[in-house]
């Protein structure tokens, strides 16, 4: 079984990655060494930089995840600053910002950066379109899951198996998994 170190402090992301990738023969191990996070406008640049930095620091193949929610009515905010916004203002205040707003369209995006020591990173992206719910619903998941709605349910109301079949992280990890099996198949992902 191939082992890849997932550099993240978020055990929820590790569980999702493990659930999605272990059937493919990939063992995910968490390392919380952290990495300097670029102040960039794209998740892909942040994930690529983090993967390169962590691979060289740990001297092994690694993956990192940078994810964000992009809300139309807020001009794409919080985007790459989603983790900071979740920690500082949270879901209730995001809902408050959207009080009376008719356009509740939002996109969850994920960029998975992968790198081996001394090599250039490769980045895989996934996204899922949905909308911001009118209120917090569901106790499952984490982060923005209780306010991000797809098909009438929030991610916070979906069991892991259901969420993992359509989530932004699933889409990115599916591309990553395909590339791991056939690295020449996707050449344009390299940063």
What are the residue numbers of the active site? 66
Please name the residues in contact with 188: beta carbons below 8 A apart, sequence gap of 6 or more: none
Angle at 148 between CA 17 and CA 15, to 5 degrees: 15
Q: Please tell me the distance from the alpha carbon of residue 70 to that of residue 78, in angstroms, as a whole number.
A: 6
The sign one gets for the Cα dihedral 123, 128, 132, 135 is negative
What CA–CA distance (Å, rounded) separates 164 from 70? Answer: 19
**C-alpha span between 147 and 94 (Å, rounded):** 9
DSSP symbol at 190: B
**Rounded Cα–Cα distance for residues 139 and 18 (Å):** 21
């Amino acid at each position: 079984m191939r082992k890849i170190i997932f550099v993240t402090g978020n055990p929820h992301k590790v569980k999702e990655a493990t659930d999605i990738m272990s059937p493919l023969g990939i063992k995910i191990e968490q390392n919380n060494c952290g990495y300097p996070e670029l102040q960039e406008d794209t998740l892909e640049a942040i994930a690529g930089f983090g993967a390169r930095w962590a691979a060289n620091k740990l001297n092994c193949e690694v993956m990192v995840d940078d994810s964000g929610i992009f809300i139309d009515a807020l001009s794409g905010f919080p985007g790459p600053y989603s983790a900071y916004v979740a920690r500082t203002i949270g879901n209730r205040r995001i809902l408050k910002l959207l009080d009376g707003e008719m356009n509740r369209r939002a996109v969850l995006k994920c960029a998975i950066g992968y790198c081996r020591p001394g090599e250039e990173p490769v980045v895989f992206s996934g996204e899922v379109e949905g909308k911001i719910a009118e209120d917090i619903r569901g106790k499952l998941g984490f982060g923005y899951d209780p306010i991000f709605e797809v098909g009438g349910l929030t991610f916070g109301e979906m069991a892991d198996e259901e969420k993992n079949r359509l989530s932004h992280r699933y889409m990115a990890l599916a591309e990553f998994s395909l590339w791991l099996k056939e690295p020449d198949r996707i050449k344009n992902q390299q940063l």
